[in-house]
Structure 1
Amino acid sequence: MRAPQRIEKKIEEVASLLIPLQGRMLLAPNVTIAEIVPVAQVIPVENAPAWYLGNCTWREQTIPLLSFEVMNGEDKPGVAQRSRFAVINTTGVNESLPFIAILTQGLPRLARVTEEEITEREDADNKPFELMHVSWAGEEAVIPNVEAMERAFLDYLHHDH
Structure 2
Amino acid sequence: MNDPATVKEEYLPTLVLPLRDSALVLPSHCVAEVMMAGSIEAEESSPHLLGFANWRERELPVLSFEALRDGQLPQQFRARQLAVLNAIGGAEGMSHFAVAVSAMPHHWELSEDQVETLEVPDDLQSPAIQGMIKVAGQSLVVPDWDYLQQQAMNAYQQRQPDSSD
TM-score normalised according to structure 2 size: 0.83
The reply to whether residue 86 of structure 1 matches residue 71 of structure 2 is: no
Structure (1 or 2) with the greater helix fraction:
2
Amino acid at match of 1:32: C
Give the length in aligned residue pairs. Answer: 156
CA shift digits 1:42-80 (9 cap, x unpaired): 1123x4101111000011111000111101125414225
Distance 1:92 1:120 in 2: 27
Alignment of 1:19-34 (within 5 A): 19-34=17-32
Write the deviation string for residues 82-137 of structure 1: whole angstroms up to 9, x where unpaired: x1011011222223121110110111111111111012102535421111110012
**Shift >6 Å, 4+ stretches:** none
Cα distance in structure 1, aligned partners of 2:96 and 2:2: 48
**Counterparts in 2 of 1:90 and 1:9: CA distance versus 1, 3 Å:** same
8 Å CA contact 2:15, 2:28 repeated in 1: yes
TM-score, reference length from structure 1: 0.85
* CA positional deviation for 1:140: 0.5
Q: d(CA) in 1 for partners of 2:138 and 2:67?
A: 23
Identity of aligned residues (%): 23
What corresponds to 2:13 in structure 1? 15
Aligned mates of 2:4, 2:113 — CA distance in 1: 19
Alpha-carbon separation, structure 2, partners of 1:157 and 1:38: 21
| Of 102, 105, 108, the match for 1:108 | 105
CA distance in 2, matches of 1:39, 1:114: 31
Q: Distance in 1 between matches of 2:89 and 2:104?
A: 26
What secondary structure does 1:15 align onto? strand
Cα contact 1:90–1:147 (8 A) shared by 2 = no
Q: How many angstroms apart in 2 are the aligned matches of 1:39 and 1:152?
A: 20
8 A Cα contact 1:93 1:147, kept in partner: no
Task: Assess if the C-alpha contact under 8 Å between 1:56 and 1:64 holds in 2.
Answer: yes
| Conserved? CA contact 2:49–2:61, under 8 Å | yes
